[in-house]
Structure 1
Amino acid sequence: MAARFGGDEFGVFLATDVETAAGIATRIRTAIRDHEWHQIAAGLHVTVSMGLASRGPGMIGEDLYAAADEKLYRAERAGRDRLAA
């Protein structure tokens, strides 16, 4: 399930293991990066930074969101077009 949290923040919730989720996230990130955005506007280049978190025992939604958000900021600090898991 995909959801928009606001602004340019989205979440994708997957019922799978971390390795599979990372593969899916990488495919999404690559598809966005490789899309022919220049057809929309000359010089337009779009990238995505992602944070991947796994729900652990006793975690509530806020905990999962905070874990993913921390990973997102790690990806952003490392540069554009990254996945931090």
Structure 2
Amino acid sequence: MLFSSADDDLVEKPMVKLTSISEKLTKLLESHRGSLTWHDRAIPENEVWVKVGGDHDQGSLKFSQAVIKTKNPNSKDNNILIGMTNI
């Protein structure tokens, strides 16, 4: 996978990624069955919001996703690592 370096050059780095993000997300939603929340109606009842994020530290770059309709959307149990590379 190609990444932009600090001096804007493109560099190729190996990346590990989840092959079936939708399958993993479906399993996560099933594990929350009956415990989803609508955050005081801020999230419509007929929608499921998913957050996709990235974080870099200590020489790695990680991509994750989380279901927002849970009581603790940022908990480690609610985040799924979907990709990672060394930078």
Give the TM-score of the pair, scaled to structure 2.
0.26
Bigger Rg, structure 1 or 2: 2
* Structure ranking higher in strand proportion: 2
Structure number with greater CO (CA < 8 Å, separation at least 6) is 2
